[in-house]
Amino acid sequence: MPSTSGEKLLRLPPTVKPEERPDEIIARILPDTEDRRLLAQHLAQYGKNPEANWDDYRRKIPPALLAGLKEIGGEMRRNGFFGLGAEIDPSGRVRFTWWQAVDNRRKPPVIKGELCDACSRPCERKNSAGVFRDGARRCWQKEVSHNVKA
């Protein structure tokens, strides 16, 4: 990242140390380049129109891509990334955008520093309110496999 003299480069620490970055998550869930391009185009199109309503817009997106989008969103939240969108640059290239939860040390962070804080993976170790039962291991504690229902 370029930095000019006199300008302090303040990088706030992320609240969660990610296990996977958004581009890795997106490529894992949508391995097909064409699927990724199409999803990014839809998100960019949706993002361009401030009047657009997601409940209406989502009907234009093929169901398989919508399912992928939902899974990507869940995996991103788990890793502390939010607000997946996309934009088209002047040369017509489309790229995904997102933001990362950071600790700004002023107000309490949205999530507090565990991969499971915003995790929406189905897990029998959580009770119906999404709270971990006592002694439950988290999905990133690798020695125990995650209870994902297929």
Of 16 and 119, which has the nearer Cβ to Zn ion? 119
Secondary structure element (H or E) that encloses residue 36, with its range: helix 33-48
**Does 139 sit near Zn ion (CB under 5 A)?**
yes
Of residues 88, 99, 91, the one with CA closest to residue 40: 88
Only one of the segments 46-54, 89-97, 110-118, 125-133 lies at the binding site for Zn ion (rule: CB under 5 A); that segment is 110-118
User: Which residue of this chain has its Cβ atom nearest to Zn ion in the complex?
Assistant: 119
Q: Which of residues 6-45 bind Zn ion (CB under 5 A)?
A: none
What is the 8-class DSSP label of residue 136?
Answer: P
Q: Is 116 in the site for Zn ion (CB under 5 A)?
A: yes
SS3 content of the chain, % helix, strand, coil (to 5): 30, 15, 55
Size of the site for Zn ion (CB under 5 A): 3
Nearest by Cα to 48 from 88, 81, 82, 95:
88
Give yes or no for a contact between 79 and 21, defined as CB atoms under 8 angstroms apart: yes
- Work out whether 111 is an interface residue with Zn ion (CB under 5 A): no
Q: Is 72 in the site for Zn ion (CB under 5 A)?
A: no
Among 26, 39, 44, 119, binds Zn ion (CB under 5 A): 119
What residue ranges bind Zn ion (CB under 5 A)?
116, 119, 139
